[in-house]
Structure 1
Amino acid sequence: MFDDFDDFDDFDDFDDAVTPEPAGATNLPTSLPAPATADGHREGGAAVPGRDAVPGDGEAPRRYQPLLHDLVIAVLAPTSALSGADGQIRPGGVQGLFHADVRVLSQATLLLDGREPEPIAHALTGPGGARFVVLPRWLGDPGPDPTVRVDRTRQVTAEGMTETVEIVSAVDAPVTTTVTLDLRCDFAPIETVKSGGAASPSPAWTDRPGCLAWESEDDVRVTVTGDGAHADISAPRLRWEVTLAPRGRVTLRWQAEVDDPKAVVTTPARPVEWGAARVTADDHRLTRLFDRSLDDLRSLRLAEVSAPDDTFLGAGVPWFLTLFGRDSIWAARMLLPLGTDLAAGTLRVLARRQGVKLDPASGEAPGKIMHELRRYEFVLAQHGMRLPTAYYGTIDATPLWISLLHDAWRWGMPEHEVADLLPAMEAALEWLAGDADADRDGFLEYIDTTGHGLANQGWKDSGDSVRFRDGRQAEGPIALVEVQGYAYEAARLAAELLTAFGRPGAARWQEYAEALSDRFRAHFWVDGPHGRHPALALDRDKRPVDALTSNIGHLLGTGLPSREESAAVAALLGSPAMAEGFGLRTMSSGDGGFSPLSYHCGSIWTHDTAIVIAGLARAGFGAEAARLAEGLLAAAESFDYRLPELFSGDARDAVIRPVPYPAACRPQAWSAAAAVTIVQAALGLHPDVPRGTVTLRPLTGTPLGAVTAKGLRVAGAEVTAAVDATGRATVSGLHPELTTITQDLFPNPDDLLPAG
């Protein structure tokens, strides 16, 4: 997923971490100036004195990607509302009501007597819901206690938003006030908002009392109605004249409805794919994180307009509320303990869009799984970026798709559904050994040849993410370390599927995996200051990019490293240079490119940490897994249990609480899914339905305390899994033909193959 937070000049250490792009790199640079809007106004960020307040001759003022960290975000995909903590949606920046890729309201500010009430509280109230309490202190009695309060309750729906405004008086006399709702609509595309730009407001019109409407050139229409309100087109504004009886209350209602005929995503036609899963734990933070995360995951469910019965998770709000191959796959994989239906929908959606031809402009290739889907081209003209509506610029989605199919099969996805997807798997395998290895050196690598795509196409896809230990940026083609692990895992798991379903080719892919393992061991391992470890990547000259990064943690559980090599990786990942923050740093603090607020070179990503927790737990390194899990739980507490996409990699003894990365998506699918991964790691629940077994191997010593999870699903059956304070694991509710196996450690590296 691409973000690359532009021009984050408010933190000097971020600027220091930025290096110029190498020749030929095409990703969005971290500190390029961006042009102003037509009227010279820069949206979305404050000027930095002495640096950009007064542009030079012919130089446009710089503009900034808007900050998100302190906004209240309510979402029920494909609609989301971003507001201040007072509930106000103010013009400028990123605030607004969005539908799919378009902002349909850029302002919704509530005033009483032309004044803004003062905020005192807000809270999320479930999927799509938020509540705000504000005080108009000029109304009511003049004493120190507020005697008139306003409760603003918001509910985002798949097609818009409704709000209830309740005004309550504790005054013994009547209170009168004029309530207005100032509105604006600009139909700004999400990429315009993301780059700190703005669109011109659209004119409002009306066709009935209490109604305002706007319509775009692309036939998107938003209609706002206020029950009992007077509509003023010229403002545009809704107005209510209110009289509160002594100690009385008045309730006002307004709603926004969106008609968006060209949207490519919609709300799913089917009910939520998982039931009322519940977790109780000695560490109550885990329970709170699990509950909030399930609410957010419900709110991120999407389907294609053309296939509303196949659900996938939109990657994140606000920038990525659409289909993202890598993100949607990882989220579905992490949620397998809740059932296989989401995985099945995700697999089918991506299989239907699997590449069938070579197209350098989009990155499409036969068998390749796509990266992202948009309504229109995603264009950042000032940075030379132009991504087509269906973009395939990803090196890892294809092997991850294969592994998701296998893991869903192990968790009990019906065999006929698996069989239907095997031709797509075979096409994906051919891509692994073919177009993914352009120079035929046996490794998967990428390079953008278009000049307007993503320069980096792994999960760390910002332009400066692949660096040597001394901070220099690597030049492509790039062969990423974790991608080789994904390919090794995918080949082995695919061979198992081919054998089980009586299809040819299993031996070929076993041999492919063995050869890849030998090549990897010969070319990727480097000596670092803290010991021997796999390099981040190989560059265009096949030199190991020797930075110590979190990427190597993704190898754990794939079977690619040996037991001894896994132990070396685990030790480095648990070292202070990597793990002294609230999770796992993306880059070691000892590396030249490190900055705690760098997008991919020192920050902490929730999903990245969770993937490594799962790998550590499966590989038998429970202490390291538990340390990282405790870091995420501490971070969750600071973020009101809605873990963001990423946050700062500051050491815990340097900051009281994690520092937000101010442009991080929140909620985000694979960040929310991390809660399920932590629960599964604690329980050690690993089914293999085709073999008729369910293995229990909880974290040694129960470092997270006793944990019980009800409503998990194995082979469609609702089960309860638990580990008590002594470390004894149990599971109930399984189909009678499944046998439970309790293990302390897997007996050999082959058993590290993931079962979800």
Structure 2
Amino acid sequence: MLNQPNPSEARPLQPLLHDLVSTVFAPASALSSADGQIREAGVQGLFYADSRVLSRAHLFVDGREPEPVGFAPDGPGATRFTALARWLGDPGPDPTVRIERLRTAGPSGMDECLTVTSTAAVPVTFTLTVGLSCDFAPIEEVKSGGGRPDHAASGHDGALRWRDGETEVRVTAPGAELIDGTAAGLRWQVTLGPREQVSHRWQAEVRDPRSIVTTPRHAADWARPQVAATDHRITRLLDQSLDDLQTLRLAETGQPDDTFLAAGVPWFLTLFGRDSIWAARMMLPLGTDLAAGTLRALARRQGRALDPATCEEPGKIMHELRRRPFHFSGAVGELDLPDVYFGTVDATLLWISLLHDAWRWGMPDDQVSELLPHLEAALGWLDKHADPDGDGFVEYVDTHGHGLANQGWKDSGDAVRFRDGRQADAPIALVEVQGYAYQAAVHGAALLDAYGLGGAERWRDHAGRLAERFRAAYWVDGPNGAFPALALDRYKRPVDSLTSNIGHLLGTGILSEAESATVAALLAAPGNADAFGLRTMSADEHGYSPLSYHCGTVWAHDTAIAVSGLAADGHAEVAAQLAEGLLAAAEAFDYRLPELHSGDARSTSRRPVPYPAACRPQAWSATAVVAVLHAMLGVRPDVPAGRVSVRPLAGAPLGAVTARGLRIGGKPVTVAVDGTGRPTVTGLPSGLALD
């Protein structure tokens, strides 16, 4: 007999996501099976902000589940599911009773329109039922693999209601019989004549006065350009991504005019410093409003005090915002984060560069000016707190012991590994963070100069000294020659594994021209680039695994950042190679790129294997296509200086592309690159000239 696992020894497992269908309009999100059914299993349910407000929405026809045949997105925030009731209607091979289930998420919850169509020659009579449950489980408990007992629904005034403290869920369904209690539901008696159709609608509305996030007051704050490309995958991915981004927009309660992008569904429908900044930065070719809202939202919560429990430091930009402390228990241990958590080493540096880049794209002077005190505070953090041991590099350590062990974008506990697979000991000084710090110092100096503030030359000197120290400390020898190490550990030893982190150095200015070429060649090597995008760790490293969260998978945003840097530094062929891998992945995932996918080689896997716990949609994955489009076009404005340069990928390795409706200085601009790589620009605002 095979040995059976002891349930008491079973480790908690995070629910899988890869086969679920998300319908989102932040802060509401519904996750179901591919058949449209929301069952009491895993992470299925309707969530509002950080709570599950419906744990079941189960459709039956005469007590039987209809047979699913397909689903498809139906525009921003909507999904259409199609099923059959083959036991009804005419006999024969062709189904004659069809059920369409159109699910639409909205600012206050979700509604469904259930349409039953009969092409039968005889009348059909049936009972249509939706079973409903509500457990009010917090998102962190669901993520830990748990849940809560169902609450009982009360039925009165034509609605079913569930309450948990101040939070109320109200379900209405015109014409339905209401079934209250723990096993609540809705019931319609239906008779359809030959070739008739009937629709019934039900709606779940959530009232949550203590929610810290809400739907922004205004519509999407960016342009939706018309794009034509030789490679049609670009346009299809852009269309789906912009639909998804429209549904990920959030604002803080009480500040509905400052829009930012939630990090991802389902775990991260809130403000995340690093994620929201990178997403806004990639979206700059479509306008600066999103960047402005993101910058302001994070500036309001910029650190003011020293607090080891929250990792807060003066001038520091926060990492994660929650309504309540976030406790997660999983296979790798426990995580206890405060409601406002500052455990990120890079968000402050990236905030500075987002402000600089938005300024260059034409963010209005008054919006930049109001953020200058926060810029000086952020530079103050870089000066006084970013280098606690005084070795000249930016580093981190979780001194409290209950937060994130790693505080760069690869924030899993095992992300920083030596070539032989050993994990590095903190404090950790990540390689890409030194590039961010160099760029933040240069960008900060440019803003200080432009607005007549002192200290610019000091920051340029700081950047120059950092580059010299970096060159001496980080470059190591490997099987394929010299390369920048992943990090320095607590003993100042280079963590000598080859990872995608080095791609983030490109375009920052910290590398010489020769060093940039070396990094580009390394990224193009099969161990890094023969997957569907750029692997987070080379397949030649001992710690590599194609389904390791940060040591072998492919992340769309990570690949896009490398593509952007390669394009900026003039490495068109490698940029195109990585971008093409990402487009191939997009095609495999129906043009909704997940947070990450497997690092399996394209020679052994015809399509990428899903990472089973990846968020989808996810903000910086959705913005990755804008970064790729920008790399193809190569338009780089400097609105304050009155000039725009255009340096597309040499030779147009991804084909011709035209984008009508990009925004420079707040005005629509058309940029086109023909099949030879020759660019044209039309519609530049007055006062701007091509460089």
TM tier, smaller: over 0.9
Q: Give the structure 2 partner of residue 231 of structure 1.
A: 178
Specify every segment of 5 or more residues in structure 1 that has no aligned partner in the other structure, as ranges: 1-48, 742-756
> Counterpart of 2:281 in structure 1: which amino acid?
R
Select the residue among 300, 323, 326 that pairs with 2:271.
Answer: 323
Cα shift readout 1:226-266 (whole Å, capped 9, x = no counterpart) = 11000111331111011011211111110000001111000
> Counterpart of 1:358 in structure 2: which amino acid?
L
Matched residues in 2 for 1:277 and 1:608: separation? 24
Cα shift readout 1:256-307 (whole Å, capped 9, x = no counterpart) = 0000111100000122111332211010000000110100111100000021
Matched position secondary structure for 1:337: helix
Cα shift readout 1:488-529 (whole Å, capped 9, x = no counterpart) = 000011101111111000011111111111110111110011
> Counterpart of 1:127 in structure 2: which amino acid?
P
Q: Give the structure 1 partner of residue 262 of structure 2.
A: 314
**Identical counterparts, % of pairs:** 64
Cα shift readout 1:6-53 (whole Å, capped 9, x = no counterpart) = xxxxxxxxxxxxxxxxxxxxxxxxxxxxxxxxxxxxxxxxxxx96873
Matched residues in 1 for 2:129 and 2:525: separation? 56
Q: Give the structure 1 partner of residue 74 of structure 2.
A: 125
Matching of residues 158-307 of structure 1 within 5 Å: 158-209=107-158, 211-217=159-165, 219-234=166-181, 235-307=183-255
How many angstroms does 1:207 deviate by? 1.5
Q: Which runs of 4+ in 1 moved over 6 A?
A: 49-52
- Tell me, yes or no, if the aligned pair for 1:596 and 1:650 is still in contact at 8 Å: yes
Select the residue among 507, 510, 516 that pairs with 1:566.
Answer: 516
- Tell me, yes or no, if the aligned pair for 1:303 and 1:312 is still in contact at 8 Å: yes
How many angstroms does 1:381 deviate by? 5.2
How many angstroms does 1:433 deviate by? 1.8
TM normalised by structure 1 equals 0.90
Q: Give the structure 2 partner of residue 360 of structure 1.
A: 308
TM normalised by structure 2 equals 0.98
How many angstroms does 1:60 deviate by? 4.3
Q: Does 1:494 align with 2:494?
A: no
Matched position secondary structure for 1:360: coil
Q: Give the structure 2 partner of residue 524 of structure 1.
A: 474
Select the residue among 108, 111, 123 that pairs with 2:57.
Answer: 108
Q: Give the structure 2 partner of residue 36 of structure 1.
A: none
Select the residue among 337, 362, 381 that pairs with 2:285.
Answer: 337
Matched residues in 2 for 1:623 and 1:527: separation? 25
- Tell me, yes or no, if the aligned pair for 1:52 and 1:62 is still in contact at 8 Å: no
Matched residues in 1 for 2:568 and 2:441: separation? 19
Q: Give the structure 2 partner of residue 398 of structure 1.
A: 348
How many angstroms does 1:697 deviate by? 0.6
Select the residue among 666, 671, 675 that pairs with 1:725.
Answer: 675
Structure 1 window deviating more from structure 2 (496-505 vs 230-239): it is 230-239
Matched position secondary structure for 2:105: strand
Q: Tell me how many residue pairs correspond in the alignment.
A: 688
Matching of residues 43-54 of structure 1 within 5 Å: 53-54=5-6
Matched residues in 1 for 2:240 and 2:264: separation? 15
- Tell me, yes or no, if the aligned pair for 2:90 and 2:122 is still in contact at 8 Å: no
How many angstroms does 1:733 deviate by? 1.1
Matched position secondary structure for 1:221: strand
Q: Give the structure 1 partner of residue 21 of structure 2.
A: 72
> Counterpart of 2:238 in structure 1: which amino acid?
F
- Tell me, yes or no, if the aligned pair for 2:476 and 2:494 is still in contact at 8 Å: yes
Cα shift readout 1:389-419 (whole Å, capped 9, x = no counterpart) = 1000000000000000000000000112111
Matched position secondary structure for 1:206: strand
Matched position secondary structure for 2:371: helix
Q: Does 1:379 align with 2:327?
A: yes
Distance change (3 Å), C-alpha of 1:143 and 1:329:
same
- Tell me, yes or no, if the aligned pair for 2:143 and 2:328 is still in contact at 8 Å: no
- Tell me, yes or no, if the aligned pair for 1:314 and 1:328 is still in contact at 8 Å: yes
Specify every segment of 5 or more residues in structure 2 that has no aligned partner in the other structure, as ranges: none
Matched position secondary structure for 1:458: coil
How many angstroms does 1:544 deviate by? 0.2
- Tell me, yes or no, if the aligned pair for 1:72 and 1:84 is still in contact at 8 Å: yes
Matching of residues 587-606 of structure 1 within 5 Å: 587-606=537-556
> Counterpart of 2:430 in structure 1: which amino acid?
L
Matched position secondary structure for 1:634: helix
Matched position secondary structure for 1:131: strand
Matched position secondary structure for 1:428: helix
Q: Does 1:470 align with 2:417?
A: no
Q: Does 1:415 align with 2:362?
A: no
- Tell me, yes or no, if the aligned pair for 2:115 and 2:197 is still in contact at 8 Å: yes
Matched position secondary structure for 1:694: strand
> Counterpart of 1:249 in structure 2: which amino acid?
Q
- Tell me, yes or no, if the aligned pair for 1:446 and 1:479 is still in contact at 8 Å: yes
How many angstroms does 1:736 deviate by? 2.2
> Counterpart of 1:490 in structure 2: which amino acid?
A
- Tell me, yes or no, if the aligned pair for 2:594 and 2:614 is still in contact at 8 Å: yes
Q: Does 1:89 align with 2:41?
A: no
